[in-house]
Amino acid sequence: MSFLSTGVKTAINELSSQLDSPFFVYDLDTLNSHLAQLVAQTEVKLWYAVKANPLSKIIQCLDNAGFNFDVASKGELEQVLAQGVSSDRVLNTGPAKSPKQIKHFIERGVRTFVAESINQVRWLNEQAKLQNCQLQVLLRVQLRWPEGEKNPLGGDSLTPFGLGCTEWQALNITDYDALSFDGLHIFQWGNMLSTQKLSELWSQMIAPLSQLARDLNINLKILDLGGGLGIPYTQNDITLNWDDLITALAKIKKQAGVEELWMELGRYAVGECGHYAAPVVERKQNYGQQQVILSGGINHLLRPAVTSQDFPAALLRDSHTPTQAMSLYGPLCTALDSLGEHALPSDLNEHDWLVFSQCGAYGFSESMPYFLCHELAGEYVLEQNKLSCLRAAEDASYYLR
Ligand SMILES: Cc1ncc(COP(=O)(O)O)c(C=O)c1O
């Protein structure tokens, strides 16, 4: 399996011959055909978790495919609305919904919210009354499992995302007459690659969630399972099969007895469409190890440093020399700036470019571009085999004051 199609490779080759600093390319043709497959079912209502990639062109593809939008900040909301998406297709999740933010969201027409605390419920009710409207609210629940597995989304650890069933018992839904409590939201496991494991986790959630709904006197119309569908980051990882997932989700929907099953997909929706290309600055041998220094690293792609999971890397140029293990580093003065150890052709040198794939989600906007004042990476899209620039690389004077 290669993560780099011929079309994308040609486009990156073309750009790399004109540019000398790192850039992202998003393959919108591949994205559009993937999204068409995701929406061709009636079991799950799909939302796009904008945090995965808030780029205008990406949002437009999801909009055209018929996705709705899950936003977690004012910036994400404004970016979605700026693409012409109607506010009745927007849902607000996130642990830091201040009264000020809630007020802004309601003013902008958002009516569906996931409440992550009893304070949020109170503020949603107060702001809805002030603006004379009714809001649809899902309560976010955080469960504990006996096996105790860790995960970037928390897994079994304590996180600020929602409340436990015991804590939600303090909520009296009749105190909030501007809110319709239509369902529950639960999401604690990211980047899962097994349909069976996902099904087991979802299945175990049903009993405690149904019990909570009964305790709170909520008619459980909607169950929102968040995201968590993974994509392969190595040649050995499997790819989740969408039809199998839909079969599993249909069972969960039936078991839970809900009218609507919702998911907010980030990684699985857009992760595979993005690629990041960076020039090699130098290669050296150090303590017997081959080290390759690149002009971009975690300033443009932070994820390996926070998850210890690398993006797959390839040499852009064709080479038939045998591969050898090389450690890849970015330009920052911190040992955290490592993009992993990869098997790369042994003739790799300082005139080369490397391409990292599976960077369409949690890439550019999850990174730390300001540290050390290197350039911001450019962002390009490939659409109907035509490349266009959304933002060229910018040097630090673009943002330094
Ligand atoms: C509330 C919520 N929903 C959905 C997602 C998207 O998750 P994924 O990228 O695993 O699909 C996230 C990611 O953090 C999230 O916080």
Average pLDDT over residues 188-216: 94
pLDDT at 151 over 80: no
What average pLDDT is seen over the chain? Answer: 95
| Torsion from C-alpha of 9, 12, 18, 24, nearest 10 degrees | -170
Ligand 1 pocket, residue 264 CB under 6 Å? yes
Residue of 61, 333, 359, 389 marked active site = 333
For residues 90-99, average pLDDT: 96
Report whether residue 304 contacts ligand 1, using a CB cutoff of 6 Å.
Answer: no
In angstroms, rounded to a whole number, what is the distance separating the alpha carbons of residues 7 and 1? 15
pLDDT band, very low/low/confident/very high, at 188 (cuts 50, 70, 90): confident
Measured between its terminal Cα atoms, the distance across the chain in Å is: 46
Whether 317 contacts 352, CB under 8 Å: yes
Q: Evaluate if residue 152 carries a pLDDT over 60.
A: no
Mean pLDDT, rounded, for 249-278: 98
pLDDT for the residue 154: 61
d(CA 390, CA 375): 15
How far is C-alpha 237 from the geometric centre of its chain's CA atoms? 18
Q: Does the domain made of 93-265 have the CATH classification 3.20.20.10?
A: yes
Does 93 sit in the ligand 1 pocket, CB within 6 Å? yes
CATH code for 6-24+272-398? Answer: 2.40.37.10
What backbone torsions phi and psi does residue 130 show, to the nearest 5 degrees?
-60, -35
- Over residues 325-350, the pLDDT tens digits come to 999 999 999 999 999 999 999 999 99
Distance 10 CA to ligand 1 centre (A): 32
Give the residue extent of every domain in the chain: 6-24+272-398, 93-265
Hunting for tokens 């486009």 — which residue is that? Answer: 11
The mean-pLDDT minimum among 201-205, 227-231, 396-400 falls in: 201-205
Topology agreement, domain 6-24+272-398 and domain 93-265: no
Query: Does ligand 1 have an atom closer than 6 angstroms to the CB of 192?
Result: no
Could you tell me the pLDDT band of residue 1, with boundaries at 50, 70 and 90? low
Residue 147: the pLDDT is 59
State the closest ligand 1 atom to the C-alpha of 190, by its place in the atom list counted from 1: 10
**CB burial class (10 A; 0-12, 13-18, 19+) of residue 363?**
buried
Q: What is the tens place of the pLDDT at every residue in 358-384?
A: 999 999 999 999 999 999 999 999 999
SS3 (DSSP) at 70: strand
Distance 11 CA to ligand 1 centre (A): 30
- Average pLDDT score over residue span 96-110: 97
333 assigned to active site: yes
Whole-angstrom Cα distance, residue 267 to residue 285? 36
Residue of 49, 1, 56, 5 whose CA lies nearest to 29: 5
Whether residue 176 has pLDDT greater than 70: yes
